Amino acid sequence: MVTNSSADSTSAALQVATDAVRIVLVGTTHAGNIGSSARAMKAMGFRQLAVVSPRHFPSADATAMASGADDLLADAHVTDSLEEALRGCAMVFGTTARDRHLQWPVISPAEAASEAVAAANRGPVAFVFGREASGLTNAELDLCQRAVRIPTEPTFSSLNLSQAVQICVYELRMAFLQQRLPSLPTAPGDAADPIAGASAIDLLHRHFIETMAAVGYFDPTNPRLLERRLKRLLIGANMRQSEAQIMRGFLTGIDRKLRRLSDAGSDD
Ligand code: SAH
């Protein structure tokens, strides 16, 4: 058999890159939408599908709508929690048809795709899609580092789930093919000190909340607003791993000092 080895190696490299992308469908009601999302993904070269608490799955409707992409359905990772579906991700994009109050900056699928290409060098990247009737909850969006909205007519913003998936995977394919990279500030040594991943930012965020509570800054009766604002600040900083470590070290220093003060107080 004659093969075009250059084209083969290009497509193999593309497959490795696109396998870093995980499409996560949360609480899907109509199994047919899972099938048509799988079809949308396969046509654009993506294979990693996760479904969180689907109402019906596996299902004949899903298989029918997959129309030949049933291998993705067979390999789909079915979980009970979004956290589990996102485990190990370097970056998580949550899609939403609505502007949400105090959500992260909302970006377009093309912008998200460029960021995803960059983040895929650090680990898996997830795009999360919500329920047909109600989308993603705020708690679910809180697990995402970016909110992605497909620009629509303002008065008719909600697309069919699998059509939203199609637009996002199309933009992802274009970005992976062109290796469009966002222009992050760079300095010598940056390659050895990558941008902190989602789990590092999450740990830092939790550490901040705990230490703020310990020093009496954090009002436990009204935690949501501060937690969100702080998360947004930490995500928006695009900090490097070493910078996140500086902050963790600083917070640990405060924790130690507080413990020493409280031990000294209890000696009195
Ligand atoms: N009524 C719901 C819409 C759900 S549509 C709501 O107001 O949120 C099902 C899913 O498709 C959404 O959760 C989202 O993941 C995706 N979706 C639909 N329209 C979209 C749009 N304009 N931009 C981004 N994602 C969209």
The residue whose CA is least distant from atom 21 of ligand 1 is: 97
Q: Which atom of ligand 1 is nearest to the CA of 158?
A: 19
Residue whose CA lies nearest to ligand 1 atom number 20: 97
- Rounded distance between C-alpha atoms, residue 132 and residue 105, angstroms: 23
Q: Which letter does DSSP use for residue 98 in this model? A: S
Instruction: Compute, in angstroms, the gap from residue 100 CA to the centroid of ligand 1.
Output: 12
pLDDT above 90 as % of the chain: 63
Q: List Cβ neighbours of 263 (8 Å cut-off, separation of 6 or more).
A: none
Give me 27's structure tokens. Answer: 């609480």
Would you state the pLDDT for residue 14? 81
| Choice among 55-59, 115-119, 149-153, 263-267 with the minimum mean pLDDT | 263-267
What DSSP designation does 87 have? Answer: T
Q: Which domains does the chain have, with CATH numbers?
A: 4-183 (3.40.1280.10), 198-267 (1.10.8)
Please give the Cα distance from 45 to 124 (Å, whole number): 15
Kindly report, residue by residue over 178-214, the tens digit of the pLDDT.
875 454 455 666 778 888 888 888 899 999 999 998 9
Pocket test for ligand 1, best of 92, 95, 168 (most atoms within 8 A of CB): 95
Contacts for 196-200: CB closer than 8 Å, 24+ residues apart: 196/239, 196/240, 196/241, 196/243, 196/244, 197/89, 197/90, 197/91, 197/122, 197/123, 197/241, 198/86, 198/89, 198/90, 198/91, 198/92, 198/145, 199/88, 199/89, 200/241, 200/244
pLDDT score, position 2: 44
Which residues sit with their C-beta closer than 6 Å to ligand 1? 95-98, 129-130, 132, 134-136, 148-150, 152, 157-159, 161, 164
What are the CA-CA distances from residue 69 to residues 37, 42, 57, 111, 213 (Å)?
A: 9, 6, 15, 27, 49
